[in-house]
Amino acid sequence: MIMFYERSVTFCAPINRVQDVYQNRAGENIAHTSEHLAELFSEGKRINILSFSGFIPQSCHQEVELMFEDESYNPLRGK
């Protein structure tokens, strides 16, 4: 028996390209370069993964908008 979800529970967000050997699909938002994301991370920003709760992707690879939060914020604690 094969079991599977009725709707997708995961997807790949091709945000940026971090190598130049292959021309993999990658997003075009200049705010999502690896350098800019590293800068946000060093400032204590983290991607808010809960912002994707209930999100149903249109395909297995989909460029999405990233929402950020401060590292100290924990939505499970409410702080």
Phi, psi of 36, rounded to the nearest 5 degrees: -70, -40
| Domain contains 64 | yes
pLDDT at 3: 79
Q: How many domains does one find in the chain?
A: 1
**Euclidean distance between CA atoms 33 and 43, whole angstroms:** 16
Alpha carbons 63 and 11: distance in angstroms, whole number: 10
Does any domain span residue 19? yes
Tell me: pLDDT of 77 over 60.
no
Question: Does residue 77 lie in a domain region?
Answer: no
User: What is the band of 79 on the pLDDT scale with cuts at 50, 70, 90?
Assistant: low
- Enter the pTM of the model: 0.71
Note the pLDDT of residue 76.
61
Domain boundaries, position 41: 11-72
Collapsing DSSP to helix, strand or coil, 77 comes out as coil
DSSP 53: T
Residue 6 lies in a domain: no
Establish if 1 belongs to a structural domain.
no
pLDDT digits (tens, 9 = 90+) for 25-58: 888 888 899 899 999 999 999 999 999 988 888 8
In a domain, 24, yes or no: yes
Round to whole Å and give the CA distance between 4 and 1: 10
What pLDDT score does 19 carry?
87
The mean predicted confidence, pLDDT, of the chain is 85
Backbone angles phi, psi at 71, to 5 degrees: -55, -35
Q: How far apart are the first and last CA of the chain?
A: 44
Q: Does 79 map to a domain?
A: no
| Residue 5 falls inside a structural domain | no
